[in-house]
Structure 1
Amino acid sequence: MSDPVIHPTAIISESAQLGSGVRIGPYSIVGPNVVLGDDVELVSHAVVEGNTVIGKGTRIFPFASVGHEPQDLKFHGEDSRLEIGERCTIRESVTINPGTQNGGMLTKIGNDCLIMANAHVAHDAILGNNVIMANYVGIAGHVHVGDNVIFGGTCVIHQFSRIGSHAFIGAQSMVDGDVIPYGMAIGNRAHLTGLNLVGLKRRGFEREAIHRLRAAYRQIFASEGTLRERVEDAAELFKNDFLVQDVVRFISEASDRPILLPRNGQVTE
């Protein structure tokens, strides 16, 4: 156990909770309802406010604004929260807002996430573990992001959209719908371009499992029949395959946004 190390220029509320080994650099501000877990570091000039909990080992870089009230005209001071997981890296000028009454009162970021400079996570967004957001990525309100998703630089995600686990979003994309797990999307407006095969191989998925997923992808996004019929057929044909069933469940769940499809019905996988 080690006492927090606080630079004399930092302003820390007396009621803030600081874990063991916390380091707070010059000109940082920590509000009264903030909880900083063990070994959290505010490098300098970082501001953490609101009902915010930050997990062990997370680092926040200069000029990040974490926990200030949402950019939502419907927000009227409700006692909403922000939770950030362990071992996250939040780079310069990132903004992250808490939840709202209309969205569950919670914004949540999982463990081991990297949020690069000038990125934004809006109110009521839920991000999984191991998410990487490159510079200037904008996650709008109520967006749900699965585990191991990568966002290329300067892309934006429409409110209420879902991004499935292990998906890849190309740089400068405007995503206005749901991206299936293991999918890859790019463009303005974005379309599905195939499966994130590079990511799947890097994360150690077996070759046979990837082959089955590719076969299911071709079936689900073929031109014959309706999407619902093709999904039902894939669910039956690959009923013992976890990856395919993950995609089937994702498509079958109700959503406020449409499922992104390949452009002009072209299936390349």
Structure 2
Amino acid sequence: MITSLIHDSAIISPLAIIENNVEIGPYTIVHDNVYLSSGCSVGAYCELGLPSTLAEKKELRFGKNCTIRSHNVFYAGSQIGDSLNTGHYVCVRENSIVGNGCQFGNRSDIQGDCVIGNFTKCHADVHIGKMSKVGNYVWLFPEVLLTNDPIPPSTNLIGVTINDFAVLAAKVLVLPGVVIGKDSVVGAGSVVKENIPEGKLANGNPSKIICDANILRMHNNPKLKGYPWRYRFHRGYPADVVSAWLNEFHEK
């Protein structure tokens, strides 16, 4: 049986549950009601299960094979799927639900009451505002900002909704309540004030619909359509998922 490897300086609550084959690095704190499933690796100076009066549940649960790098903070009350992969200095607040296979880059900030689907990838410095709903296989590039307060400061928060396979390029700002459609693409530096329909390319400040996203071609191979991206880009995705995407492509 493979046992867990916990650094002597780590502080682990007796009310935490640590499965076999878990690594916990130096000076990490694991609070009450944290559940770390098998295969998880937690770096140095992390804090897991930080108590919060806003948490609807006491438990913080991690699925299998999560990689939590140094200086991450996860509040109590969230549920994390299998194989989360984080950079450094990531913060995930209470009442968040994160699917399988997600990535949160350095300094990503996931506010409370968020729902994030499977295999969504956030690059560095992404801010996902409270009450956001992000779908499956979404790409959020560096410094994407999802806001939620129409008249700040207030308690009348309206989260952003981003549907499956959408791509938001670097420094995109999305205003409260906006819905971004499946397979849509938002150009770098755009400020999104209005909903973006499925499969469209939007760009600018304020953003405007430019064309169907599937018109775009790869700059190094004009014969290849850039979007939907899942028909051409497969790195890091499970074989069965990629196979379904290719079947979908051939059926079109």
- Shared fold per TM-score greater than 0.5: yes
Deviations, residues 106-151 of structure 1 (Å, cap 9, x unaligned):
x100000010000111111000000000000000011111100000
Q: What runs of 5+ residues in structure 1 fail to find an aligned partner?
A: 69-80, 100-106, 210-269
1:123 matched to 2:112? yes
- Unmatched runs of 5 consecutive residues or more in structure 2: 52-58, 149-158, 193-206, 215-226, 233-244
Select the structure that is richer in helix.
1
What is the alpha-carbon distance in structure 2 between the residues aligned to residue 62 and residue 37 of structure 1?
18
> How many Å apart are 1:39 and its aligned residue?
1.0
The answer for the alignment partner of 2:183 in structure 1 is: 182
Compare CA radii of gyration and give the structure with the larger one: 1
Is 1:195 the equivalent of 2:213?
Answer: yes
Runs of 4 or more off by more than 4 Å in structure 1? none
Choose from 94, 103, 109 the match for 1:114: 103
**Residues 22-41 of structure 1: pairs in structure 2 closer than 5 A:** 22-41=22-41
- Secondary structure of the equivalent of 1:26? coil
TM-score with structure 2 setting the length: 0.71
Deviation of 1:175 after TM superposition, in Å, equals: 1.2
| Residue 170 (structure 2) pairs with residue 171 (structure 1) | yes
| Counterpart in the other structure of 1:67 | 75
TM-score by length of 1: 0.67
Match of 1:206 in 2: 249
1:194-237 Cα offsets, whole Å, 9 max, x none, are: 4370513225341663xxxxxxxxxxxxxxxxxxxxxxxxxxxx
Change (3 A) 1:170 1:207: farther
2:213 & 2:81 partners in 1: Cα distance? Answer: 28
Q: Whose RCO is larger (CA < 8 A, sep 6+)?
A: 1
Name the structure 2 match of 1:56. 64
Q: Secondary structure at the match of 2:229?
A: helix
Task: Please say if residues 90 and 114 of structure 1, whose CA atoms lie closer than 8 Å, have aligned partners that are also in contact.
Answer: yes
Residue aligning to 1:214: none
In the TM superposition, residue 158 of structure 1 has moved relative to its aligned partner by 2.0
1:240-255 equivalence runs, <5 A: none
Report SS of the residue matched to 1:206: helix
Number of paired residues?
Answer: 190
Q: What is the DSSP-based 3-state SS (H/G/I as helix, E as strand, rest coil) of the residue aligned with 2:124?
A: coil
Which of the pair is proportionally richer in strand? 2
CA distance in 2, matches of 1:22, 1:208: 43
Q: What is the Cα-based RMSD across aligned positions, in Å? A: 1.6
1:135-173 deviation per Cα after TM superposition (whole angstroms, max 9, x unaligned): 000000111111000001001012311000000001000
Give the 3-state SS of the residue equivalent to 1:200 in structure 2: helix
* Distance in 1 of aligned mates of 2:168 and 2:66: 24
Within the candidate set 82, 86, 98, 1:86 is matched to 82
- Kept in 2: contact 1:182–1:200 (CA 8 A): no
> What is the percent sequence identity of the aligned residues?
23
1:98 aligns to 2:94 (yes or no) = yes
